[in-house]
Amino acid sequence: MKNRVFALLSLASLTAVVFCARTAAAKSYIAYISDSSNSSVVYWIAKEAGIFKKHGLDLDTIFIDGSVRGIQSLIAGDLGYSGAVGTAVINAKLAGAEIAIIQSQMNTLPYFVVGNASIKSPEDLRGKTAAVHIPGTSADFALRLALMKVGIGYKDIKAVTLGGAPARLGATISGQADFTIVSEGEKLQGEKNGLKVIIDMAKLKVPFQFNCSVATRKKIRENPDEVRRVVWSLGEAGHYFKTRKDDAIKIMQKYTRGLDRAVLEGAYAANYEFLVEDTYPTLEGLKQTLDVQALTDPRAGKAKPEDFVDLRFVEEMKKSGFVDKLYGRK
């Protein structure tokens, strides 16, 4: 009798596990790949302001640290969509991944190299310890480019991989590293803690595919209507950000663990300046990245920027007048 009861309970437990797994699998996720105040705000807003639901989407957000990991999860089928940056998309596509950029939020590199008091000029970066992100991320690319601009090779620094901006900044403030690369919000936070700007990449306005959204070609082929609604939702989230500052900053505070209001004000201003209203990816930025990568990877030299995007949804959104209506334009 006991064995029979145990067997029935085991069967019931197994059924519950299978049911839960299927339910979880039915839930669709979009990954944001940074908890920085400058990188993921449209995803946060689309969820918190109910914009995904407004467009008929049962889509939840999930944090995955870095574009490379986000794209890996996307390819594995764990996600419906992922945030990313152009370098990671290019690397994945050149390696055979069937993915495409479907919309963009920022098309330049809004980064700053910040360091401690021992660094008086860019030349002083040589030989110093840098808190860096994993290869293939925008922060990694931006740091390499910044060093190249001042004549310093990556081999001339001591790179310690720590991951996202909060971890890199924390290590630099605490003295574990001498410098790092961050965006506006973390730059302001660093300055409040004694760090100073060594190189301002934002001033250069380098065309670069920064924050963007990626889907698999399979998803685009099999469910274009859902992809279309995701693109339109994120376009509307961008408008919400630009026109409802206080509400946007409250959402930013929630996802950045209550960062100081002054820091978030600075991050808001930077986001406002760089956020792409029509959400078109930058083909020019992708070409520049391909040109740099072609120096070490022949596959990049044979590729075209158009290979990495699917523009049909942003083009449809533009032709519909949806964005113009949001912003009150004729």
Give the whole-number percent of the chain exceeding pLDDT 90.
69
Residue 200 and residue 213 in one domain? no
The residue-averaged pLDDT of 193-206 equals 89
Residue 164 and residue 86 in one domain? no
What is the residue range of 223's domain? Answer: 9-107+209-326
Nearest by Cα to 284 from 205, 220, 221:
205
Residue 243 and residue 316 in one domain? yes
**In the predicted structure, residue 329 carries a pLDDT above the cut 90:** no
Report pLDDT for 148.
Answer: 87
Q: Which of 179, 204, 229 is the last residue before a domain boundary?
A: 204
**In the predicted structure, residue 310 carries a pLDDT above the cut 50:** yes
Q: List strand residue ranges (DSSP E) for the chain, in order.
A: 28-32, 59-63, 81-84, 99-104, 112-115, 129-132, 158-161, 179-182, 196-200, 212-216
Q: Is residue 1 situated within a structural domain? A: no
Residue 71 and residue 179 in one domain? no
CA distances from 311 to 19, 83, 98, 101, 299 (A): 38, 16, 15, 8, 23
**In the predicted structure, residue 4 carries a pLDDT above the cut 50:** no
The residue-averaged pLDDT of 319-326 equals 95
The residue-averaged pLDDT of 287-306 equals 91
User: pLDDT for 106-120, tens place per residue?
Assistant: 998 888 999 999 999
Q: Which of 150, 177, 204 is the last residue before a domain boundary?
A: 204
Q: Assign 292 a pLDDT band (cuts: 50, 70, 90).
A: confident
261-291 burial code (b ≥16 CB/10 A, e <16): eebbebbbebbeebbbebbbbbbebbbbbbe
Q: Which of 156, 184, 204 is the last residue before a domain boundary?
A: 204
Read off φ and ψ for residue 44, nearest 5 degrees. -60, -45
**In the predicted structure, residue 323 carries a pLDDT above the cut 90:** yes
Report pLDDT for 27.
Answer: 66
Q: Which of 59-73, 252-266, 295-309 has the lowest mean pLDDT?
A: 252-266
| Token couple for 217 | 């070609």
Q: Is residue 2 situated within a structural domain? A: no
Q: What span, in angstroms and rounded, lies between the C-alpha atoms of 259 and 36?
A: 10
Q: What span, in angstroms and rounded, lies between the C-alpha atoms of 38 and 41?
A: 7
Q: Assign 12 a pLDDT band (cuts: 50, 70, 90).
A: very low
User: pLDDT for 136-146, tens place per residue?
Assistant: 777 888 898 88
Report pLDDT for 135.
Answer: 83
